[in-house]
Amino acid sequence: MDGFQDLMRRESCKLSTKHCVFVSILGFLLVLGLGIFTSSLAYLHKYDRDRVNPSSEMLKESVSGDFTTQGIVTERMIQMPQTCSDIAGCSRIAKDGEYWLYPAVTNGKRVKIYCHDMQTNPKEYVTLKYENSFVQHDNSNWLSKYKRCTSTFRPPLKKAVFLKVAINIKDMSVNGKDYTFAVRTGNFSLSFGQTADCAGERWIKNCSRFSRAKINTHGTGMIFDPTLVFGKAGGWETDILDFQRSADGAEMSFRCRGWCGWCGPIEEKMKFILTSEAGEASKLVGLFYEFVSVEIW
């Protein structure tokens, strides 16, 4: 009998030990799960709150042409900068220079933009790689006052050569009277895209016309909207003369004739649009960023 009781005590101890081990393991798992849940909440809060500031290398075009490093990296996704202020504000980059932007008006397709005055008031410009020049022949440069069709003039004529043109990044329209990056001769006062003439009325065919406009956007990846109409922009007895536009839309030239008047875009703003080549390249980059997300551990 005593042997049987000893056996029952031993088996009972074994069951108690197994039960204690099970309870201990269960408790450990509960504590571990609670810790993971708490850490996850803290991480998600940090995930929503924190932002990783990009370096200038992430935003500038790389020499190798590897565009996969463009953008502002966050823990959630890559945020593409739409304005120069986005770059200055999110990355603390204060250096003027060329950057890739992804404006809303281009549906996120990239454009090369020069960011100016990054330390105080960032502004967007398009760098013009070829000559963009405009001559203003107005009543300040008559050989003899009110003398029509004069064949000579007192040099120099008013002229502006734009090295960069200011734009409104929201609609890619030109701010034509921003002369920050224009080399001006005399008191040139016309907008980018305009030229003026004061030689004589438009119906006088044998006048020498001194006005001249030359537009060239090759190398920018953009052209001006081809639906834009050029003609008389203002003045008396004025119209456009010898207007030419290249097949790809990147080059335009024209003169003006009037007494006195100016020629250029009629009533509408000059707006940049992407060329087909730039659009296709941007589409590939856009597809990449559509599926890429970055997690910072």
Reported as a single tens digit per residue, the pLDDT across 9-30 is 554 444 454 554 454 565 556 5
Q: Give the model confidence (pLDDT) of 160-181 as tens digits.
A: 999 999 999 999 999 999 999 9
Q: For residues 24-45, give the mean pLDDT.
A: 52
Q: What is the pLDDT of residue 66?
A: 32
7 pLDDT above the threshold of 90: no
Summary mean pLDDT of the chain: 76
Q: What is the pLDDT of residue 149?
A: 85
In this structure, of 203-207, 218-222, 288-292, the range with the lowest mean pLDDT score is 288-292
Q: What is the pLDDT of residue 75?
A: 41
35 pLDDT above the threshold of 70: no
Q: For residues 63-71, give the mean pLDDT.
A: 36
47 pLDDT above the threshold of 50: no
Are 233 and 266 within 8 A, CB to CB? Answer: yes
Sorted by where each begins, the domain ranges of the chain are 56-123+277-291, 130-274
Cα torsion at 214, 116, 108, 285 (round to 10°)?
90
Q: What is the pLDDT of residue 24?
A: 58
Provide the percentage of residues in the chain whose pLDDT is more than 70: 65
39 pLDDT above the threshold of 70: no
Q: Give the model confidence (pLDDT) of 127-165 as tens digits.
A: 999 999 999 998 888 777 777 887 677 778 999 999 999
Q: For residues 119-126, give the mean pLDDT.
A: 94
In this structure, of 57-61, 212-216, 283-287, the range with the lowest mean pLDDT score is 283-287
219 pLDDT above the threshold of 70: yes
Task: Tell me the range of 58-67, 218-227, 270-279 where mean pLDDT is highest.
Answer: 218-227
pTM reported for the whole predicted model: 0.68
50 pLDDT above the threshold of 90: no
Q: What is the pLDDT of residue 188?
A: 95
Question: In the structure, what pLDDT confidence band is assigned to residue 65 with cuts at 50, 70 and 90?
Answer: very low
Q: What is the pLDDT of residue 275?
A: 87
Q: What is the pLDDT of residue 1?
A: 52
